[in-house]
């Protein structure tokens, strides 16, 4: 009975591990570049899903709202290049997801369109396994500190 339960659980965890190829931090990313006289923005979740109907707001250096719009089904939104200024582009993907991208005025004149491969590379930003271990190590470090404090309190 007991060993069956253990095997069941082990199997279940194996299935979970196999069904997830990558680990992703859950956040949205906004990326913007200049292409054919337009500023193109692309918004996506860290697992590669595009942000649909996310609202984009563009501010200049004096925090005046210049452009607003919605991302399409591919997570894209484009707008004509506004007067030369440092731009702050904000994505609100609802449910508390927000991302900010800054575009310097120097970048506005040039054609900064990234290559297709670069964009796919950007989109699939997984989590480094080292950071996961660092996090787990921190948790057990805190456990050690907590136990130490607890023991001293008791004395």
> Interacting stretch for other proteins, rule CB under 8 A, among 12-20, 63-71, 74-82, 111-119?
12-20
Among residues 115, 140, 152, 155, the one that binds other proteins under rule CB under 8 A: 140
- Using the rule CB under 8 A, is 8 a contact of other proteins? yes
The residues pairing with 89 across neighbouring beta strands, listed in sequence order, are: 58, 101
Residue 66 near residue 85, CB atoms below 8 Å:
no
DSSP letter assigned to residue 74: T
- Minimum Å distance from CB 85 to other proteins? 21
Among residues 83, 95, 115, 152, the one that binds other proteins under rule CB under 8 A: 95
Give the C-alpha separation, 40 to 121, whole Å: 17
- Using the rule CB under 8 A, is 27 a contact of other proteins? yes
Give the C-alpha separation, 154 to 23, whole Å: 41
Residue 58 near residue 82, CB atoms below 8 Å:
yes
- Using the rule CB under 8 A, is 38 a contact of other proteins? no
> Interacting stretch for other proteins, rule CB under 8 A, among 34-42, 67-75, 80-88, 146-154?
146-154
- Using the rule CB under 8 A, is 23 a contact of other proteins? yes
Tell me whether strands 38-45 and 76-80 are parallel, antiparallel or unpaired: antiparallel
Return phi, psi of residue 66, to 5°: -100, -50
- Using the rule CB under 8 A, is 120 a contact of other proteins? no
> Interacting stretch for other proteins, rule CB under 8 A, among 8-16, 35-43, 59-67, 75-83?
8-16
């Amino acid at each position: 009975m007991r060993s069956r339960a253990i095997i069941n659980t082990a199997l279940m965890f194996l299935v979970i591990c196999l069904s997830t190829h990558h680990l992703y931090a859950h956040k949205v990313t906004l990326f913007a570049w200049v292409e054919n006289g337009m500023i193109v923005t692309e918004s996506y979740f860290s697992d590669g899903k595009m942000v649909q109907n996310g609202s984009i707001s563009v501010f200049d250096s004096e925090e005046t709202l210049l452009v607003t719009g919605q991302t399409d089904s591919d997570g894209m939104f484009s707008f004509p290049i506004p007067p030369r200024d440092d731009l702050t582009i904000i994505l609100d993907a609802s449910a508390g997801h927000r991302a900010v991208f800054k575009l310097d005025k120097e970048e506005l004149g040039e054609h900064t369109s990234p290559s297709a491969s670069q964009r796919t590379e950007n989109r699939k930003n997984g989590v480094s396994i080292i950071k996961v271990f660092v996090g787990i190590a921190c948790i057990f470090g805190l456990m050690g500190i907590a136990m130490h404090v607890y023991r001293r309190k008791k004395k």
